[in-house]
Structure 1
Amino acid sequence: MEKSLTHVALFAAIIAVLGLLPKLQLGFGVPITAQSLGVMLAGCVLGAKRGALAVLLFLLIVALGLPLLAGGRGGLGVFVGPTAGFLWGWVAAAFVTGWIMERGAKAPVLPMAAVASVLGGIVVLYACGILGMSLVLKKSLVESTLLMAAFIPGDLLKAAIAAMLTASLARARPGSLMSRRVATGQ
């Protein structure tokens, strides 16, 4: 239990640190950041429940006012702006990414982590983010989806990085992927 809490806190910290990397602000209020990479990694490494808990811990700290989002943003206001759907979507993205990793515990890590990162960390995240952006910006779902096209190449790169880091971790420290241990009952 104590080890799980430590891992959850560690991945919340990783997501926070990735927010320190400079963001690229697009004209419609949604920045390109590295933090979604941390969300993908949380799911790949920790599994569904722990990955989602890491993101929830991070979001709680942001809600308390710590400026940990890219560009030094924090506080309750970020949960009602153009990025709100993405913030809430991070929880679902980490959970789905971890769930896929758990279900594919017998498959090779690299391709499984790539599939999990794309489906959870991009498809699920975009679904939440586009819906939120559409509501806040009062745009149609089609318009919001078209605005998101600029993010696809970068997010595919993040998914590839998450998969490679997850596979490297599995090689360097066999048994370290909690997402694989959950599925095999270890």
Structure 2
Amino acid sequence: MNKEEIIIRAADLRDAEALLNIYIPYVTDTAITFEYEPPTLEEFRARMVRIMQKYPYLVAVADGKIAGYCYVSQFKDRDAYDWSVETTVYVGRELKGRGIGRKLYEKLEEVLKEQHILNLNACIAYPHPESIAFHEKLGYKTVAHFHKCGYKLGVWYDMVWMEKMLGEHTENPLPVIPACELELEELLS
């Protein structure tokens, strides 16, 4: 699979089942997510709807099949945090290392800049050196390390927060534009 064959587009609720199928092994077999039980399809769709009200939710299609997805969510529920988001990316485990996650994040950042988002925050279970290395290659820096704060699959995990700045922090920042008000298809082409 060449990088040119990867198409990034806005997610649609019809994608929910394929996205959930990518997510389930991360829930059941890893500590990459601290969720213990996979959500139902209805719960997953409801999460997508909630996120898409304000933020981009993108999918990668490779060889006609959904290969991965990414989105951002609210960092904190106070107005002063509007310019900060938490990033999430999942790629089909059999497709990792093919540039899909990078391409998803690059397109995601283009949309976030149009929204006037300034701070990207990634929460990573530690040790997952591949996740940390992936984010470092994209310009993220480690800003916090919490010890033994998550327990899953019989192991206590540390948590690392990484951060990337997308723009200048001015005295009067531009208001955040909801992703649903942007021409996403145009931005993603």
Q: Same fold (TM over 0.5)?
A: no
Larger fraction in strand: 2
Relative to the length of structure 2, the TM-score reads 0.28
Structure with the bigger percentage of helix: 1
Query: What is the TM-score with the length of structure 1 in the denominator?
Result: 0.28
